[in-house]
A and B are shown apart, each in its own frame.
Chain A
């Protein structure tokens, strides 16, 4: 395997709150090879968005990276200064956000917003930047770009706005695009269009994706590799195929079983009992143990390390075999 484009090792993100330190991300590790698409899946509050924003130094004011390494294209981001991080943003790593309505500047024409990175970062002339904006709008499938280039964000539909965001992300030919729930705020039909567009761009332009979502179907459609996050930790990694077919962490299993099943493989739609823990005081041992159907005494003791299962597969469960057995008894995916 070549050198990974993105390598994250033991990433910790902390918020300083009045009632103590909140660890939003607690030891996340994953990597992305050039041209690869990694999905990060988890419930809201599992730390996936913060992990993503930490990668490029765009954490909220009250949060900071407490420890860990983030390496993008050979540059150690955590050790780099703000100038170096800014240099990476836009040109090497771009971002797409959940809510295109608020992520676009409401008082700037969309053409200007797309042309801004080429103008400021690539040093293009005004005219060349505008031409580039028009080309990008065509590339992301915005009809009638010569008219839309003059539009303000509020004059476009949600899907068009997200296409504008994608055009902005692509505007300086980045190697990696971080997508933070890019389809959550959109209608289901539009969702599908945007996912297909992102898939096509990844294939045709060879750009790598990190795709954060709570929606397993979205991850399955776009990614080859997946990292499942729970309570700030990565609890399972592997190829999408392997993880979805035979989850080796009870949380992943719970997530898969709570997706409505239209192929009628399963008889029941189940949900995970309880709710995610308070990140300011997470449970000892395995963080999932209070909600786990397979829980044993030693799950409540020492923190569980990530156990390598060969290849890109790893789990943070001591009893992953039981989990796998359970799936064999009652499969979660059609044809498995």
Chain B
């Protein structure tokens, strides 16, 4: 499988786009989580 580790240039954009697609909502969820979790130390 290691041959597919080095993506051809045409796929790199797609890989980046796919990760941004799933990463953006996940980052939002994590941000909200951290905001809430800090209440343990401040609340």
- Say whether A associates with B: no
A residues adjacent to B (C-beta < 8 A): none
